[in-house]
Amino acid sequence: MGKQVAVVVGGSVAGLACAHAVAGEGWEVVVLEKASAPAAGGGTGAGLGLDAQSMETLARWIPGWGLDTSTLPLAVDLNRATDRQTKAARTLARDEEFNFRAAHWGDLHRRLHEALPPAVTVLWGHQFLSFEAPDDTRGVVATARVLRTGETVDVTGDLLIAADGSTSSIRHCFLPDLKLRYAGYCAWRGVFDFTGKESCDTMAGIRRAYPELGNCLYFDLAYKTHAVLYELPRSRLNWLWYISGPEPELKGSSVTMEATDAMVARMRDEAERVWCPELARLIRETAAPFVNVIYDADPLPRLSWASGRVALVGDAAHPTTPHGLRSTNMSVMDARTLGRCLGKWNSEPTPARALAEYEVVRLPVVAEQALHARRLGRLKQGLPVDSEAEGFDVTMAKAEQAVQLRQSTMPFFGGAPAEGDAESANQTGPAPHRGFAS
């Protein structure tokens, strides 16, 4: 019997992580990706926070990956309150044992692509259209359009892996009634490139106002809004600013919006009214900021992640808000666990048992994490956590209340079961849930 073949739909970080994990268990992998080429290491608004478990996993797949020029430490998780009138900042919660690393999405994607094993083929410029999985015994057929020529092609395999993001068309086939949930706010995002400008006035000011950049994940909370700032490798600063409002109308399946000049001008003016002058100046001087509309979804029901020969991974399986820095980390661990489960049950005629175990291990973990990320976002944004509670008021918050803002309150913060052992899912419990202190 020849090698089994997995067809991965989506060539972003989640898809390439799956390619590494599944190929590492002896499978051939074909990745279908609409983009015409891999990331070159650039890109806009693409900072990532990687936890220790993801870093250890990535080091298995990428030679030389680790504490090198591709990441910077995020040893400190710091939440500060900003007074809109005086622009003064005071510490709300500080955690000096955060132990994350900051990376750029384009850098990670490039490194994952360059390190792909020979058993992986990536078909760039192939837009996924549909799939057929007649029954458990006859494999799957994915149909894609070659964007350069307009022709359609079929790719046959033994397993289809849906890594096609939060708006997954494959998930829609199984759960047509599942709707993404608008979080109540959007995020302005940008990357400030200070290559050759370390001594400029903007950077000098930012270094004074944020003296731990390069080692710290900053959350600045003002009344009913919050911003994030941290440093990326290769002389870049990543910032996000969350603004509440009605749900925008989006076109197509993307959850990002190109901002008009008028939108950018209004945002920059508002930044000067809310944030300290140093952050407002950084935002004003950042080229091409854009808008992410923030969505998540309630945890998927059991027996929905894996159906016969189809598995969901990453945002396709668990759309989540970004506040717990979970999306990429969950995708990496999904891939690692899926690969281990496939390897464990490789002698089976179909992947059904492997997929069932993958779901048993991962679904309880990401369900807890996605719901906690939702809660964390609403706390930081000053929105009610439930229908009866008032929103977190940063102007009145006490130290014992602010502890709940820490990233370390995330369930499974210290590590999640990942080795394809269904029993281990019950051996690693979530972090204790911390409600409002009285």
pLDDT tens digits for range 56-105: 999 999 988 877 778 999 999 999 999 989 999 999 999 999 999 999 99
Q: How close are the terminal C-alpha atoms of the chain, in Å?
A: 64
How far is it, in rounded angstroms, from Cα 155 to Cα 399?
56
Dihedral, 381, 387, 389, 392 alpha carbons, nearest 10: 0
Dihedral, 388, 393, 396, 398 alpha carbons, nearest 10: 80
Pick from 22-36, 251-265, 305-319: least confident: 251-265
How far is it, in rounded angstroms, from Cα 120 to Cα 122?
7
Residue 106 in this model has a pLDDT that exceeds 60: yes
Mean pLDDT value across residues 331-349: 94
pLDDT above 70 coverage of the chain, percent: 92
Residue 420 in this model has a pLDDT that exceeds 50: no
pLDDT digits (tens, 9 = 90+) for 197-232: 999 999 999 999 999 999 999 999 999 999 999 999
Residue 347 in this model has a pLDDT that exceeds 50: yes
Residue 2 in this model has a pLDDT that exceeds 80: no
Tokens representing 309? 């020969």
pLDDT of residue 42: 56
Residue 13 in this model has a pLDDT that exceeds 60: yes
pLDDT of residue 397: 80
Residue 1 in this model has a pLDDT that exceeds 70: no
DSSP letters spanning 46-104: -EEEE-HHHHHHHHHHSTT-SSSTT-EEE-EEEEEEE-TTT--EEEEEEES---EEEEE
Question: Average pLDDT over the chain, rounded to whole?
Answer: 90
Tokens representing 305? 């992640």
Residue 113's φ and ψ, nearest 5 degrees, are -65, -45
Mean pLDDT value across residues 251-271: 90
Residue length of the chain = 438
Tokens representing 61? 């797949």
Look at 6 and 438; give whichever has higher pLDDT. 6
Helix intervals (H) in 286-429: 327-344, 352-381, 399-402
pLDDT of residue 401: 84
pLDDT of residue 430: 38
Phi-psi region of 47 (alpha: psi -120 to 50; beta: other; left: phi over 0): beta
Residue 345 in this model has a pLDDT that exceeds 80: yes
pLDDT of residue 425: 42
pLDDT of residue 263: 96
Full strand arrangement of the beta sheet holding 225-232? 89-95, 76-82, 216-222, 225-232, 236-244, 181-193, 290-296, 256-257
Question: Beta strand pairing status for 72-74 and 225-232?
Answer: unpaired
State the helix-helix crossing angle for 52-61 and 327-344, rounded to 10 degrees: 50
CB burial of residue 273 (10 Å; 0-12, 13-18, 19+): exposed
Please report, as a single letter, which amino acid is at residue 115.
A
pLDDT of residue 432: 33
pLDDT of residue 196: 96
Domains and CATH numbers, the chain: 5-64+107-179+298-426 (3.50.50.60), 72-105+181-296 (3.30.9.60)
Neighbour tally for 248: CB within 10 Å:
11
Give 3's contacts (C-beta < 8 A, 6+ positions apart): 26, 27, 28, 119
Total-model pTM = 0.92
Contact 255, 206 (CB under 8 A): no
pLDDT of residue 251: 77
Contact 233, 110 (CB under 8 A): no
Contact 428, 362 (CB under 8 A): no
Per-residue pLDDT band for 41 (boundaries 50, 70, 90) equals low
Look at 389 and 285; give whichever has higher pLDDT. 285
Nearest to 9 by CA among 26, 37, 24, 30: 30
